[in-house]
Chain A
Amino acid sequence: MAAVIETKNLTKRYGNFHAVKDLNLKIGEGEIFGFLGPNGAGKTTTIGMLIGILYPTKGSVHLFGRDLSDDYFNLKRRIGVVSEQQYMYNNMTAYEYLSFFADLYAVKNKKERIDELLKFVELYEFRNKRLKEYSKGMRQKISISRALVHDPDILFLDEPAYGLDPVGVKEVRDIIFHQKDKGKTIFMSSHILSEVEKICDEVGIINKGILVERGSMKQLKGFSSGIHELDIEVDKINDGIITTLKKFNFIEDIEVDGGNKNILKIKTIDGDHRVEISRCIFKNNGTIIGMSEKKTSLEDAFVEITRGGVKNE
């Protein structure tokens, strides 16, 4: 798959502080890429450089295989950006605002396109209302409409669901999926990890300006040290079960739940060992009543990766 976004040793330094350091990214066409990191990790700075509003100290950004500075105006027409905060000309109406940007991007059939977008984000009836009178959720929808007005090939979203209520978050998610269905590439940073988990194909985690991990959602979850946590309810736990289980190399830890004497809490490593554990309990005259496995979420992986320090440092 051809890379539509590519960075090579992308670096932004403020004095001696590296906001972003030697960032190498390749994002393919039609991909939804989630860019994660703690506050101040360098996400917004990276997006700023990708969209050309910040100049890198070192390194390069290529969009569609071309350096932004080589074909500035054409490349800018192929990207759409939604920022964390909605910065708008508040005295304009929604229609005037979108009309101005449609002109800037030289959109053909401007009126039809704006009407289509306003209907899509369900703000058509408010099109002649001034933006200063809009709620935060409405403003975010207008920001998204502005970013989509020229039907861009890449959409950069910096915390698109920031400060939105659950309905707003879902609406933003639906818009993103709609764009994905149209084959658009989406680069998204977000603090709402559950949203990233639902939306993104690939995720990159940046910490202290350095990309510490990158991979598919499955790969990142697998990063989480490979420990599986099992809660097993047994009709009667005896010493034989515990002694035999402790002999397995893949058992990292085993304990009986202090409150409920029938529950075994087991931590295993190196993959899925539920079958071996079940057989062992059965052989030692125990009957399994229930078994649950704690799933590793993106949040677990994120916390572990960012707490674990910088892998490539």
Chain B
Amino acid sequence: MNDRLHAVYLIGKKDFFETIHSLGIYLTMTLSFGLAAIIFYIFASQIKDSVLVMSRPVDFIFMFCVVGISFLYLAVSSVTSIAKEKGDKTIEVLFYGPVDEISFIFGKYAARILSYIFILLFSILFILFSDFFVHLGIPYDFVKLVILSIFLISCIIALGIFLSTLTSSVGGSIVLLIGFFVILFVIGIISWILSIIPIGMDTTIDLIRNIVVGILNAAKYVSPLEYLGIGWDAISSEDNGKYILSILYSGAYSLVFLMASVIILIKRGAKQ
């Protein structure tokens, strides 16, 4: 096996086994399945009373309960992954051996993707099992949604790893993650406020609006949530072109952030 792939495989395997031997992933699955069970029950009652208005309820349950909760869990897991190694200085020991920045970053990434697939397998079994009793109906393109979800989750993992390379403490990395989403949220709020002000009232406000709209457009590309939205739209509208585009966007997004992480790690060095 290629030297770098060998290192990716071993780092990925180590982190993956650490993850499945820790409590976090099982708490995530418990929360996810618990919430899904409640929603299944609600939808089942609505079917019984013939008042269910939602199309594709299983897709909704999957996206909300499985992808949504995994998104949060893997965001935290990714953003703390490298920061913890840097904080404990175990990264240094890894780099004593045949490990370079690329194999390290991609090993971390692979472990988290595998963790999601692990969650996914149990989630699919849970959904199939629940639907056997509730009969909400599994849509024919559910597999497409499952595949898309891996790419969407890949975005948050890549972003989390990137943020993790910027700091050397677990606490700092979580603050960075929260800060990142707070900034996106604040931009969204300001944009909404500006959107309710009529155009042409004040040139300064118009200028601010244009700047914020520009920032918001740029922020679209750094927010993994944007890709989640695009993917969901593609599935809902059964637009195959948009679906493939969404996968390509997510793949490119992940690659860009992973390569940026490699560059930062090279710049800052494994020795902190």
Using CB atoms and an 8 Å cutoff, list the residues of chain A in contact with chain B.
48, 51-55, 72-74, 76-77, 79-81, 83, 85, 87-89, 91, 100-101, 103-106, 146-147
User: A52 vs B4: C-alpha distance in the bound complex, in angstroms?
Assistant: 16
Most buried by A among B88, B99, B271: B271
Q: Are B7's CB and A87's CB within 8 A?
A: no
Q: Are B96's CB and A81's CB within 8 A?
A: yes
Q: Are A87's CB and B266's CB within 8 A?
A: no
8 A Cβ contacts from B1-22 to A? 3-4, 6-7, 10, 14, 18
User: A244 vs B115: C-alpha distance in the bound complex, in angstroms?
Assistant: 89
Q: Are B97's CB and A87's CB within 8 A?
A: no
Residue of A nearest to B7 (CB): A104
Q: Are B269's CB and A54's CB within 8 A?
A: yes
Q: Are B93's CB and A100's CB within 8 A?
A: no
Q: Is B242 an interface residue (CB 8 A)?
A: no
List residues of chain B with CB within 8 A of the CB of A103: 10
Q: How far is the CB of A301 from chain B (nearest CB, A)?
A: 30
Q: How far is the CB of B215 from chain A (nearest CB, A)?
A: 33
Q: Are B90's CB and A73's CB within 8 A?
A: no
Using CB atoms and an 8 Å cutoff, list the residues of chain B in contact with chain A.
3-4, 6-7, 10, 14, 18, 88-90, 92-100, 266, 269-271
User: A70 vs B249: C-alpha distance in the bound complex, in angstroms?
Assistant: 34
List residues of chain B with CB within 8 A of the CB of A51: 96
Besides A76-B97, A101-B97, 18 new A-B residue pairs in contact (Cβ under 8 A), listed by A number:
A53-B270, A54-B271, A72-B100, A74-B3, A76-B96, A76-B99, A77-B98, A81-B93, A83-B92, A85-B89, A87-B89, A87-B90, A100-B14, A103-B10, A104-B6, A104-B97, A104-B98, A105-B97
Q: Are A55's CB and B269's CB within 8 A?
A: yes
User: A49 vs B93: C-alpha distance in the bound complex, in angstroms?
Assistant: 14
List residues of chain B with CB within 8 A of the CB of A77: 97-98
Residue of A nearest to B18 (CB): A91
Q: Are A52's CB and B95's CB within 8 A?
A: yes
